[in-house]
Structure 1
Amino acid sequence: MIAFGLALSLSAVAGSAHAGTNGAEVCLLGEGELTVSDLPDGSSVIACNAVGRIVTYDGTGVTVPEPGTAVSVDTLATDGSTHGFTLEVASNGIVSYDLAEAGADTSTAGSDVSDALSNPTRTAGDLSLESDGTDADASDAGAGAEVADVDAAASTGACSDGSYTTADRKEYGTYNWYIGDGGMPGGLSRTDAKWAFYDAIDNITDSYNNCGYSDTVGAKTNFLSETSYEADINTSSQCTDRDGLSTWDAGDLRSGVVATTCSWTWPMPGVKNDLREADVRFNTHDYDFTNKPTSSCSNKYDIRSVGTHEAGHVFGLGHVGSGHENLTMYTNSFLCTTKARTLGKGDVLGLRSIY
């Protein structure tokens, strides 16, 4: 009994979850945020009472969802580094991770399942700190004539680079999305932001490119309305509890992160996970955005370029790294350029592999 009590005490200090000698789950988690080591593969969120706790990895984090749900976080960083992972909770409560951010090679032949979230979560932590109609981001007003898209200049590299990665998710039905509350990037009104986001999402669903590829991607999208709900992403660029609405908005994120996408899916054995919700937030607390880069543009990110990249994550694309700078899904978004609005060869092929 003394030895058993000592083992439990040590587990409590370490914040660990593991199987006991009799096969029963022994799970004593510490206070505060957890790491993937605190709640490792094979742990039970039920035995550990871990649902609703934040698990962190490599500078990002997600809130542990209910059994039968997976959650993924993808961040677009200013330095081009990749940060993101997936935490999946099986229907029996067992945890598994994909810490490589992307690269899943599962079949895409599943079908959409209707979603019914009976008790949507709204907490103060989910909300932007910005009030309606205000934004720290500079307005586009008086910025002058928009420069021509640089698609043609970038097309040689973009159209010859077939690199892509995909995540374990797919929108089998229609991605229905909303405009959230608070200020918008570029100082846009919610109506103007809607059209900017709409164009960015369409770039993905229509596989918009100038490489000569026809649109064979079957992904579908539909804007529903404005909402008082916010993207379920906190100021640390972590995914909070989902509220059932796929919301695009702007607000405060971790410094060094331009935008974050959080995606929730239902695990589908043998095929890609079924997308339930995907939220996107632009970091207007630390960075400025524009919807029309001009020749005098300085230190501003193009809203539709960043939006196209984030929409790529929504529909299952992962990041590509160094050497693939001309692709939309490159790990960085360049200032004052529109080239990421137009997909490259790898971006199109990645979408075709899913849809």
Structure 2
Amino acid sequence: MPPMVVLSFLDAPVVTGPARGLIHLARALPPEVRLHVAILRGRGAGPVPPLDEMSDGALTVHEIQERGPYDPSILARAVAIAWRTGARVVQSHSYKPHLIAMAVRAARRVPWVGHHHGWTAENDKVKRYHRIDAWSLPRADRVVAVAQSARDIVVHEGVRPDRVVVIPNAVDARDLSTPMTREEARAKLGIPEGEFVAAVVGRLSHEKGQDLALRALAQARAQGAQVTFALAGDGPDRAMLEALSRELDLGLAVRFLGHQKLVGVVYKACDMLVMPSRSEAMPNALLEAMTLGLPVVATRVGGVPEVADDGEMAWIVEPESVESLARAVVDCVARPEERARRVAQARSRAAERHDPARRAERYLDLYSALGVR
């Protein structure tokens, strides 16, 4: 008997959090369920991410080449993929895939599962995308929210509460492993031995709060903390952040590592994670650090307090508070025994609640509830 096909639509020129989530899901699903991913490729964009290779062949990738920013022909091509693969359920991640999945559902008469990974408000263009999300998601048969806080948002936007399912993100430690030693990882990234280094991982943009991290670093060092920051990621705020680093006279206390394909190397080289976000849904960086045993200082936004308990598993502070962030960094650096205690608790929580196999079981329960077998 052929496997049940789940077809996910993704709009991602690089491997983002939703893409990693699909890789984890494909690996964890039983053989009788096969995940296919149709990736939209914008005009002039680079090659689509090799998710099939990254999943060890557990998923199948289809490419939909866009001929312009508004290309209605992608709907017919998406429907053709759904018929060709025999998709029994369609899924979508972000605003354009939502619209495509809605069209495929109508043509193929299969359930549609939309996903909400959180919203930002960095510019008017992104806000317009949110309005499309708010219009489309209430029309889905089910909406997967990655955290309770994300569920509350979509319910407020009009999705019926009984149609929202909370399925938290998961972490597969295989994606974070590296054969490098700590010394080799530091040499690769240009980090000297002997430094206590905090990783700040994520896209360099306003909602991620790296400007707050730099100001907190300046305060922490002024209070005597021997710590440096390594920013892993790229984005529209890089020039501003580099200028701010110069303004704060941080010098070699800050390193801009750029986009890192193998984020596990960054974690191997660093001693803790600082996550100064202004908004999040279910941050993968937090789950990754907890899984690998790095102590965490993070802001109380989105699903962060659902994942890690303040005082037990991490240092959780109020968002936008540079002073609180600096105090937490100083405390974390100064108390190695407390770091070890919280790391042990965090590792246990990550293994218990954010295992890919458990996440796959939740999806199978969702498909069953939709009558898909």
> Normalising by the residue count of structure 1, what TM-score does the alignment of the two structures yield?
0.28
Greater RCO, CA 8 A, separation 6+: 1
> Normalising by the residue count of structure 2, what TM-score does the alignment of the two structures yield?
0.27
